[in-house]
Structure 1
Amino acid sequence: MIYLDNSATTRPYPEALTAYTEVASKIWGNPSSLHSLGSQAARILEASRRQIAELLGKSAQEIFFTSGGTEGDNWVIKGVAFEKAPFGRHIIVSSIEHPAVKESALWLKGQGFEVDFAPVDQSGFVDVDRLAALIRPDTTLVSIMAVNNEIGSIQPIQAISELLADKPAISFHVDAVQAAAKIPRADYLTERVDFATFSSHKFHGLRGVGFVYIKAGKKITPLLTGGGQESDKRSTTENLAGIAATAKALRLSMENQAASASRTAKMKAVILEELAAYPDVTVFSGRENFAPHILTFGIRGVRGEVVVHAFEDYEIYISTTSACSSKAGKPAGTLIAMGIEKSLAQTAVRVSLDADNDMGQMEQFLTTFKIIYEKTRKVR
């Protein structure tokens, strides 16, 4: 079995699973309880928070735990919009955002907010000049993902940070779900970023856990009200075991980041070189300013889901771009935003690599691809 769908979810580190099991089985007290078992749990909770904060170069008071990326994106987009509504009701998101951001923005539109979608160029990068032209006096939020989940384009977060440097009234949110432990922290978490979203299972933690970075002093409407957990911002009993596993996974992933990026980039380069020899293959992911682990391509005339299932017959697992929308059978929204014709966008499939993969697997992938390519000759 060859697993090449790491942007959908990664295999948990054994150390993260051990941390989860240890905490779940031995530290079952509620962190909010006053007795010693509660205090023990609270110490684990805060130790995990401090470790994550230190890894990101932030303070512990700026880290808030969630159930994952979708919750975090929904919270920031809606929470900031409503918190700042008295000062303006205009927000900007890019045209290639994850559905968690894009659908949240569209929902706000139905609540009376105004939304503009910043366009991207033909390669899938936000056009900073055109973004600047969308900013208005009543703009309260700009949300741009760090690494596009469908093609891997690394967005110009530094340039956008410079654009917003003299506009402190505008909150800047970065969806860092596909960026954490994949690209340098400075490329997605600048000093100008006010909010950032993370998801544990994208860096070898567990599903159902995530966190949001909220810069000190920045206001946001609470996600959940009730018991006052997470500094009154998200009231619910914390998933302590999952949080401990998240801290462990993030530390290991960031320690291995440079080696992992180098390893995946080499494997990606091998695939790119081989695919270039096929006349009916379109490659949507480039080399420069693209994440080292994501490669998206298509066979002309062959729908992406057909290719995915063809590889699955050989126990090789890839995806049709975003895992969250793949079952809907829709073409990649990023490709449409790039101006790619719908029928070509529908051919897209995504290979997403990890340090667990190796060159032997790439050779097997390419051998299988050649077989699938020949079998689709009549369709093409």
Structure 2
Amino acid sequence: MRILLWSFFTRSVGYIIKVQRGESHLRTYYFDHCASTPPYEQVVQTVGELMRLHYANATALHRSGKEAAKLVERARQSVAQSLGAKSEEVLFTSGGTESNNLALKGILFTGGRKAAKHLITTAIEHSSVYNTAKQLERFGIETTFLPVDSSGRVSVRDVEAAIRPNTALVSVMHVNNETGVVQPVEEIAVLLAKHPQIRFHVDGVQAIGKVKLEWKAAAGIDLYSGSAHKFRGPKGVGLLLKREGLELEPLLEGGGQEDGYRGGTHNLPGIVGMSQALRLTMESLETRREKMFALRRLAIERVKAIPELTLNVPEDEAMVSPQVVNVSYPGMRPEVLVHMLEQSEVFVSTQSACSSKSLKPSRVLLAMGHSAARASGSLRISFGDEHEAEDVEELIRRLKTTVVKLKPLERSRG
């Protein structure tokens, strides 16, 4: 039985690899870059080499350990340089979820529970912030979830109006993971500079490599989260930028790594791979933005020609990040669309990847004022470096074919 299971597993993995390489009978079109990106080939090679040659623990006292530690610190310097930060402001984590949890809990648990603390966030945050805020409420943290307007943006005035004497932290994402809408984090930072007792955290997971942010210039932002696999790095590694001098309560106690803020053996291959991916990504930021905005315009133009579909994102490019388009087929379950498209070798998402197994309507689209039918039938299409205009044309062609096939089902439901 074990032999049969292993044989099935290896055949399945082999097929998946062939599909990803485009070696199946039909070329695949991966439009789910907001969920995860294909790593740079150089990064794959680097990670493999490090796993083979530098397997020592970076905290070990012998020569191999010291060599590993040097590689970690070089990677830290590289990440800092790519983001315009100081190397001592870079903390390495396991990814965006841990970075967001460390930011929120690290601030709100600092100093113990001497007094009730207040958190301000929004109704459209990624689940790693939104659900953490809900958990913090159970721990006695008072929380305000701010609304957004019909475009999906939070108001700076609403942030200001929500501030209380005991407000300790404001957490607002930079780019929304479902719609790509850019939040006014720079303006919020200016506002919060007038309230030095309040710390400001920004979830930058979907922003790094797509939206400009100079950490040194963004003086009002105290904490900024990132995740390597969102910018063509390896999975299982992320970062948290922390202003110099800012104290956090550790989320993970252990051997004192990361200046005591994050215990645990360093993921050396992941950390170095992330630093390399980040450098490559930031070097081509402007070129990538121009290319993806062109793809976004084309996708929106073609989607608007399919009457069954409704666009859920602003067309104004000043308001959005370029890598994502969100559409709805009102009344149609999104997982039906996803699996139908999968049969034609097109891969897209419903909501965010972390929430895609939920059968509930999109919390983000509901917060924007859309109906439950529209929020329940949304698809997220997200672009990457490998895409060209002809890929978008083929995506829309297959999407239109899928919609036509599903049209009788829509009528039978009516």
Instruction: Please give the TM-score of this superposition, normalised by the length of structure 1.
Output: 0.97
Deviations 1:60-85 (A, max 9, x none): 11111110001111111111111155
Q: Aligned to 1:116, what secondary structure does the other structure show? A: strand
| Contact 1:179–1:188 under 8 Å retained in 2 | no
The one-letter amino acid of 1:40's match is: E
1:323 aligns with 2:353: yes
Worse overlay, 28-37 or 151-160: 28-37
Contact 2:84 2:215 in 1 (8 A): no
Compute the displacement of 1:187 (Å): 9.2
Task: Name the SS for the 2:277 alignment partner.
Answer: helix
Q: What SS does the aligned partner of 2:91 have?
A: strand
| Stretch of structure 1 that moved more, 241-250 or 220-229 | 220-229
Equivalent-residue separation in structure 1 for 2:271 and 2:214 (angstroms):
24
User: How many residues matched?
Assistant: 380
- State whether residues 88 and 140 of structure 1, in contact with CA within 8 Å, keep that contact through their aligned partners in structure 2: no
2:144 maps to 1:153:
no
Task: State which of 262, 268, 279 in structure 1 corresponds to 2:296.
Answer: 268
Does residue 112 of the first structure (1) align with residue 116 of the second (2)?
A: no
Within the alignment, does 1:364 sit opposite 2:394 as a pair? yes
Q: What is the deviation of 1:271?
A: 1.1
Structure 1 segments (4+ residues) deviating >6 Å: none
Paired residues of 2:176 and 2:182 also in contact (CA < 8 A): yes
Is contact 1:146–1:188 with CA below 8 Å preserved after alignment?
no
* C-alpha contact (below 8 Å) 2:83/2:214 kept by paired residues: no
Which whole-Å CA distance do the structure 2 matches of 1:99 and 1:188 have between them? Answer: 28
For the residues of structure 2 that align with 1:211 and 1:99, how far apart are their CA atoms? 18
* SS in structure 1 of the partner of residue 152 of structure 2: coil
**Is 1:175 the counterpart of 2:203 in the alignment?**
yes
Does the residue aligned with 1:117 lie in a helix, a strand or coil?
strand
Q: Which amino acid aligns with 2:46?
A: A
**Residue of structure 2 equivalent to 1:224:** 252
1:257-305 per-residue CA deviation (whole Å, 9 max, x = no partner) reads 1111111111111110111123332101123211101000012221211
Contact preservation (8 Å) 2:108, 2:117: yes
Q: What is the distance in 1 between the residues matched to 2:44 and 2:302? A: 37
Instruction: Give me the whole-angstrom Cα distance separating, in 1, the residues matched to 2:394 and 2:92.
Output: 40
Aligned residue in 1 for 2:376: 346
- The separation in 1 between residues aligned to 2:60 and 2:291, in whole angstroms, is 46
Specify the alignment match of 2:4 in structure 1: none
The alpha-carbon distance between structure 1 residues 188 and 325, as it changes in their structure 2 partners (threshold 3 A), is farther
Aligned-partner Cα distance in 2 for 1:103–1:7? 19
Please give the residue correspondences for 1:191-230 in structure 2 after superposition, counting only pairs within 5 Å: 191-230=219-258
Q: Is structure 2 residue 169 aligned with structure 1 residue 126? A: no
Q: Which string of whole-angstrom CA distances, capped at 9 and with x for unpartnered residues, describes residues 302-359 of structure 1?
A: 1211111111110000010200011122221110111111111011000000111111
CA deviation string 1:7-32 (max 9, x = no partner): 00000111111111111111122111
Q: 2:61 aligns with which of 18, 23, 34?
A: 34
Q: Aligned with 2:407: secondary structure?
A: coil
Contact 2:116 2:142 in 1 (8 A): no
Aligned-residue Cα RMSD (Å) equals 1.4
Q: Partners in 1 of 2:372 and 2:214 — Cα distance?
A: 35
After TM superposition, the structure 1 stretch with the greater mean CA deviation from structure 2, 129-138 or 84-93, is 84-93
CA distance in 2, matches of 1:366, 1:37: 52
* CA distance in structure 2 between the aligned counterparts of 1:102 and 1:124, rounded to whole angstroms: 16
* 3-state DSSP of counterpart to 1:300: coil
| Equivalent of 1:377 in 398, 401, 407 | 407
TM-score by length of 2: 0.89
* Residue of 213, 218, 224 corresponding to 1:190: 218
Letter in 1 for 2:140: G
CA–CA distance in structure 1, aligned partners of residues 134 and 406 of structure 2:
39
User: Displacement, 1:189?
Assistant: 7.4
- Secondary structure (helix, strand or coil) at the match of 2:336 reads helix
Partner deviation per Cα, 1:90-141 (whole Å, 9 max, x = no partner)? 1011110001001111111001110001110011001111121110010000
Q: Distance in 2 between matches of 1:237 and 1:245?
A: 16
SS at match of 1:65: strand
Q: 2: CA distance between counterparts of 1:59 and 1:187? A: 9
User: Does the aligned pair in 2 maintain the 1:63–1:212 contact within 8 Å?
Assistant: yes
Q: Which 10-residue stretch deviates more, 253-262 or 201-210?
A: 253-262
Deviation of the 1:188 alpha carbon? 11
User: What residue in structure 1 maps to residue 42 of structure 2?
Assistant: 15
Counterpart position of 1:257: 285
Q: Which amino acid aligns with 1:92?
A: I
> 1:306 is matched by which residue type in structure 2?
V
Residue 21 of structure 2 corresponds to: none
Where does structure 1 lack aligned partners over 5 or more consecutive residues? none
What is residue 93 of structure 1 aligned with on the other side? 121
Aligned with 2:335 (options 305, 308, 323): 305
Task: State the distance in 2 between where 1:370 and 1:27 align.
Answer: 50
Listed as ranges, the gaps of 5+ residues in structure 2 are 1-27
Report if aligned partners of 1:10, 1:201 keep a CA contact under 8 Å in 2: yes
